[in-house]
Homo-oligomer: A and B are copies of this chain.
Amino acid sequence: MKDLFYLTRAQIIKAMAHPSRLKMVTALADKELCVRELKAIVKADMSTVSKHLAIMKNAGIVQDRKKGLQVYYRLTCPCTATFLACIESFVKNQRSRFSKTSSLSRKLKPAKD
């Protein structure tokens, strides 16, 4: 299998692999939202939010449409709900296995961001 195959898929996954972006995706699962609304949800600088949205748009996760002064974003793919549910399974699974985590896996510095 070509490298490009995994690169493409990794790009899509990476586009959701950030707390703010994930939060936006979750919010967008309900209905389309404009940048100002998304900014309120993730509580970040407008320019930061805009860049996060550009990353997701570039990955094909969201699409935008202009409505007057506002730009509305919506999810491109209906499978997002499945995706989120899937992550929940991971979390659940992770928790159930937590007590027997080996010491090695604790040695990695936890991310601060």
Contact = CB atoms under 8 A, between A and B. Distances in A.
Q: What DSSP secondary structure best describes chain A's contact surface?
A: helix
Contacts of A10: 16-19, 21-22
A48 to B, nearest CB: 15
Interface of A: 1, 3, 6-14, 16-23, 26, 54-55, 57-61, 63-64, 76-79, 82-83, 86-91, 93-94, 97-98, 102, 104-105, 108, 111, 113
Nearest to A14: B17
Contact of A82 (B12, B60, B86): B86
B108 A90 contact: no
Contact of A111 (B11, B61, B105): B11
A82 B89 CA distance: 10
